[in-house]
């Protein structure tokens, strides 16, 4: 639907030139020529189809909003990046599940979410449509139903093809689209994929170039054995930083609070002492506030400072393109 909508919105203002071959035919006085009649018919049909597709996409958005609410308590990471950077390959390797992977533009059009379990940490990772240079505004709008997953993520995994000659240019393109989507304030981790395609000298030079500018970057390979370990460690670190472990104590009879904790948090252990239920769980600040308001006692372990905590995507303004941005 999103592709068809983008095609129709691209075609609509260009219809006039498609029927110039009929202009030489003239109708009688006060009559319209066949070119003009066909043009109006096509324009009406396309406008009707565009309206129908937009209504269906709004239904899709509402359905996905319900799905996101069901995943509210989980730590969510979204894979973003230039098209063909290897996002789907990373998701397949992380989740050990079937994910469509193809070496072509826009192989992924609909968002695909998989649960990734690393030690005792659960992360929901979503694959999204790839970006391209000079992505038209109407195309961004058409893919909004897909890309809205990006704005809800706790962490953006910006996948970059380390073997691409113009990877810095590709990074700028992605930064610009994230700004247009309003996702430029989300925490970002740069993931340099396909590191196995570089020789030692090239990889060392890339390490030095990147480390001089940022600390929140990892170098991985979706195809090499243990090639995603740096990314796995970064996901665990980011998840634990945003959702610290807390000890929650409540009455065993308080089923409502217990259900809320299981729904919006990640329960690691629980035990009963007399008439009190004591649980260890990963919870965010919003859930902590609701639990305390409901009468539960919440004791949060001291948060550890993380020097590799991912930074926001930008400083709040549109990316500049005069030089590589970091």
pLDDT tens, 103-114?
A: 544 444 567 888
Q: Are residues 79 and 202 in the same domain?
A: yes
Q: What is the reported pTM? A: 0.65
The residue written with tokens 């995603």 in the block is 228
**Per-residue confidence band for 240, with pLDDT thresholds at 50, 70 and 90:** confident
Q: Are residues 194 and 166 in the same domain?
A: yes
- How many structural domains does the chain have? 3
| Residue 221 maps to a domain | yes
Q: Are residues 111 and 168 in the same domain?
A: yes
> Residue 255 maps to which CATH number?
3.30.70.240
Strand partners, 131: 82
Final residue of a domain: which of 30, 57, 84? Answer: 57
pLDDT at residue 28, rounded to an integer = 52
Q: Are residues 97 and 213 in the same domain?
A: yes
**Of residues 284, 250, 254, the one with CA closest to residue 266:** 284
Burial of 81 (0-12, 13-18, 19+ CB in 10 A): buried
Distance separating alpha carbons of residues 232 and 56, to the nearest angstrom: 37
Q: Are residues 136 and 149 in the same domain?
A: yes
3 in Cβ contact with 109 (< 8 Å): yes
Strand partners, 75: 123
Q: What is the DSSP secondary structure assignment for residue 114, as one 8-state letter?
A: E
Q: Taking each helix axis from N to C terminus, what angle separates 144-151 and 167-181, rounded to the nearest 10 degrees?
A: 90
The pLDDT of 109-129, averaged and rounded, is 81
Question: Across 56-70, 77-91, 110-124, 134-148, which has the greatest mean pLDDT?
Answer: 77-91
Average per-residue pLDDT for the chain? 78
| Residue 185 maps to a domain | yes
Q: Are residues 117 and 131 in the same domain?
A: yes
| Residue 65 maps to a domain | no
The pLDDT of 229-255, averaged and rounded, is 89
| Residue 24 maps to a domain | yes
> Residue 199 maps to which CATH number?
3.40.50.300
DSSP H or E segment with residue 31:
none
| Residue 184 maps to a domain | yes
Q: Are residues 34 and 133 in the same domain?
A: no
| Residue 323 maps to a domain | no
Q: Are residues 134 and 263 in the same domain?
A: no
54 in Cβ contact with 5 (< 8 Å): yes
Question: Across 21-30, 48-57, 107-116, 127-136, which has the greatest mean pLDDT?
Answer: 48-57
Q: Are residues 84 and 206 in the same domain?
A: yes
Which of helix, strand or coil describes residue 147? helix
Q: Over 80: is that where the pLDDT of 125 sits?
A: yes
For 311-326, the pLDDT digits (tens) are 665 555 555 544 445 5
Higher pLDDT: 307 or 287? It is: 287
Buried b (16+ CB within 10 A) or exposed e, 306-320: eebebeebbeeeebe
| Residue 279 maps to a domain | yes
Higher pLDDT: 30 or 13? It is: 13
Termini Cα distance of the chain: 35
Q: Are residues 91 and 233 in the same domain?
A: yes
pLDDT at residue 35, rounded to an integer = 46
Question: Which residues form the domain of 286?
Answer: 245-300
pLDDT at residue 120, rounded to an integer = 74
Q: Are residues 254 and 230 in the same domain?
A: no
Q: Are residues 124 and 224 in the same domain?
A: yes
Alpha-helical runs (H) found in the chain: 2-11, 15-18, 34-70, 87-95, 137-142, 144-151, 167-181, 200-211, 229-242, 255-264, 285-293
Q: Over 50: is that where the pLDDT of 211 sits?
A: yes
For 168-188, the pLDDT digits (tens) are 999 998 898 888 878 888 899
| Residue 63 maps to a domain | no
195 in Cβ contact with 203 (< 8 Å): yes
**Per-residue confidence band for 24, with pLDDT thresholds at 50, 70 and 90:** very low
């Amino acid at each position: 639907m999103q592709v068809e909508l983008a095609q129709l919105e691209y075609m609509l203002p260009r219809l006039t030139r498609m029927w110039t071959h009929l202009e030489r035919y003239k109708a009688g006085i006060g009559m319209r020529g066949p070119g003009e009649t066909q043009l109006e018919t096509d324009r009406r049909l396309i406008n009707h189809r565009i309206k129908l597709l937009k209504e269906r996409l709004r239904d899709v958005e509402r359905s996905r909003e319900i799905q996101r609410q069901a995943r509210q308590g989980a730590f969510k990471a979204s894979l973003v990046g230039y098209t063909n950077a290897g996002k789907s390959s990373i998701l397949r390797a992380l989740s050990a599940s079937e994910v469509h992977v193809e070496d072509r533009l826009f192989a992924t059009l609909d968002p695909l979410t998989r649960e990734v379990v690393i030690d005792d940490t659960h992360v929901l990772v979503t694959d999204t449509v790839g970006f391209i240079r000079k992505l038209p505004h109407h195309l961004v709008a058409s893919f909004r139903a897909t890309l809205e997953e990006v704005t809800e993520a706790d962490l953006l995994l910006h996948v970059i093809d380390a073997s691409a000659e113009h990877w810095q240019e590709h990074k700028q393109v992605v930064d610009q689209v994230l700004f247009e989507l309003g996702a430029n304030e989300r925490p970002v981790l740069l993931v340099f994929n396909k590191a196995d395609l570089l020789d030692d000298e090239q990889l060392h030079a890339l390490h030095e170039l990147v480390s001089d500018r940022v600390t929140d970057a990892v170098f991985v390979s979706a195809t090499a054995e243990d090639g995603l370990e740096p990314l796995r460690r970064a996901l665990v670190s980011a998840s634990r930083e945003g959702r610290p472990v807390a000890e929650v104590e409540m009455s065993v009879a308080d089923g409502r609070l217990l259900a809320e904790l299981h729904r919006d948090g990640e329960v690691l252990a629980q035990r009963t002492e007399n008439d009190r239920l004591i649980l260890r769980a990963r919870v965010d600040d919003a859930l902590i506030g609701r639990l305390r308001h409901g009468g539960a006692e919440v004791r949060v372990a001291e948060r550890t400072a993380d020097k590799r905590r991912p930074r926001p995507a930008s400083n709040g303004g549109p990316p500049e393109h005069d030089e590589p941005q970091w």
